[in-house]
Homo-oligomer: A and B are copies of this chain.
């Protein structure tokens, strides 16, 4: 290749790198800001299942202090015979939970067709691990004005993760949050291997906020709290945690869902760790923040 020495290397990220915005990016999601000193917690069920389940989950996470409600409508399932999610009918359930509990909404978008039906109803669009290199989707999300939570692919290198985010920024969307959710390794005692060093490295090399999903990373609710605290100590800007009112009945990933009591315990223990590293838990939005114009 005859690139002149002036041209940047097309294989490397540019816009996501720290020097492009030394002070760091802050992403506003609903009524909270991710990437500043305040730490943000998104919690909720893996999948929206029923009105009662979502309503209980939302009440539980809000009362424990969560800022955002996560809940999957379209579930990417390994098997075609597994529960595929409620789909669009679930949107109304999420919106009701948002208005009742002042919780911003985070939901996964699987493809460009779903984008239209989700974008005006959620506060952040999640790109799942399996879609981290779905470049069609990334290009579409680069053109919208809605924050994107970009999960690291389960076998994505650090560099590939940054380049996936680069697609979003290069497309024009600068409201991007990285999310580490465990990588696939030989170890099978946990569902995945949580790579917290990549969180510290992402904070150092990029200007983007970084959240951590200890639920998918471990696949085991017993390990979620220690990993959540570790993520906070490692410099993450927030958490994405699965909480289910009755995990044993969950249609999806029940083993990794915290019970409401465990989530409360986590939220009680987080502030001290955050304080130890010079951070604090983000304030809960007051009901007024509830009045929301899209």
Number of identical monomers bound together in the oligomeric complex? 4
Cα distance, A127 to B13, chains bound together (Å):
26
B135 and A134 form a contact (CB under 8 A): no
Give the A interface residue count (CB, 8 A): 74
Residue of A14, A170, A193, A220 contacting most chain B CB atoms (<10 Å): A193
Q: Does A56 contact B (CB under 8 A)?
A: no
Asked if B186 contacts A157 (CB within 8 A), the reply is: yes
* B10 & A82 in contact (Cβ 8 Å cutoff): yes
> Once the chains bind, are A233 and B223 in contact (CB under 8 Å)?
no
Residue in contact with A113 in the complex, picked from B79, B136, B187, B197, CB distance below 8 Å: B136
Q: Mark A237-276, 1 if CB is under 8 A from B, else 0.
A: 0000000000000000000000000000000010011011
Residues in chain A within 8 A of chain B (CB atoms): 8, 10-14, 76-82, 110-113, 130-131, 133-137, 153-155, 157-160, 163, 166-167, 170-171, 183-190, 193-201, 204, 217-218, 220, 222-223, 226-227, 229-235, 269, 272-273, 275-277
